Amino acid sequence: MIRLAIQSKGRLNEDSLQLLHDAGISVDDAKRKFLGKAADFPLEVLYLRDDDIPGVVADGASDIGIVGLNEVEETGAAVKVIRKLGFGNCRISLAVPKTADYTGPEWFNGKSIATSYPNILRRYLADNKIDATIREIKGSVEIAPAAGIADAIFDIVSSGGTLISNGLSEVEKVFWSEAVLIARPGLTAEKEALLKSILFRIDAVEESRGKKYILMNLPNDRIEDAIALLPAMRSPTIMPLAAEGWSSLHSVIDGGSLWQTVEALKGIGAEGILVLNLDKVID
Ligand code: PRT
Ligand code: ZN
């Protein structure tokens, strides 16, 4: 049995549960529960506030966890970051009132900065030799300048909409974050093996993201041209059709280049092109 801590509610909860689901691990979305158990994998889920996850994993009360890298950095907990998970992307930035006469980081000398991330901010200020006062507040950091609590803020930004609607402008992007899978050092062999199995599944989900399965019919004399257009995982699958001189070709392509590839394939005489979503890619 391995124990995983995830956010009980909030921005990372849904994506964390979705990732487990895609990895074939079903846990109930028990918002009011503290501890749940997967039906089809030896895994327990501990539902926590995100701030508590790094510490609980470092202490060993949970073996692994899914949390924002910002929380790992802020708490300084002794955990290993095992995988970046590609969701919950954001940055922590310094922002000042848009009317401020901002000249560069030295502007912050002698100023006060409101934040929920005092440790990351303290490190940034020290690295840049800035002498500013840190005002730690837990929520609604973005209203601090208008409320006269601080001259500037250091807070999470994703779209930037919150800053704009509070009359602030983002002036220094300091720390980039996304959800990560963390583990405590020194797992038992049994737990290491379970973690390996979870990683294998997560990697397969990740690998399939944005990829498409494509199949088409082609005249046999254009197969070489088609292979050149299709960098498959190893090489495309080619099967003869009942119609003389024609084959069916199957491959996996990147979603990003889908339309260019389809145009090029039509250009060399491909017909009956089908594009399907991929569920998992297992190398
Ligand atoms: O209750 P609990 O303590 O578990 O949750 P929380 O309220 O502390 O955290 P939550 O759920 O808001 O965020 C969890 C994690 O999501 C954070 O630690 C980040 O790793 C990640 N994340 C990603 C974000 C955002 N994007 C985000 N936009 N966390 C917060 N925000 C907030 C930000 O604080 C600001 O108020 O959204 C606002 C800015 O958004 P934009 O899009 O207007 O720029
Ligand atoms: Zn929190």
The pair phi, psi for residue 235, each rounded to 5°, is -150, 160
Question: Is 221 strand, coil or helix?
Answer: helix
pLDDT in tens, the chain (283 residues): 999 999 999 999 999 999 999 999 988 766 667 889 998 999 999 999 999 999 999 999 999 999 999 999 999 999 999 999 999 999 999 999 999 999 999 999 999 999 999 999 999 999 999 999 999 999 999 999 999 999 999 999 999 999 999 999 999 999 999 999 999 999 999 999 999 999 999 999 888 888 899 999 999 999 999 988 887 666 789 999 999 999 999 999 888 888 989 999 999 999 999 999 888 888 7
CA–centroid distance, 131 to ligand 1, in Å, is 27
Q: Ligand 1, residues 15, 51, 66, 156: which to mutate, most atoms within 8 A of Cβ?
A: 156
In angstroms, the Cα distances linking 188 to 57, 181, 202 are 14, 18, 21
Within 6 Å (CB) of ligand 1, which residues are found? Answer: 7, 10-12, 49-51, 68, 70-71, 88, 90, 142, 155-162, 177
In angstroms, the Cα distances linking 115 to 7, 20, 29, 35, 96 are 21, 32, 31, 31, 12
CA–centroid distance, 198 to ligand 1, in Å, is 26
CA–centroid distance, 38 to ligand 2, in Å, is 25
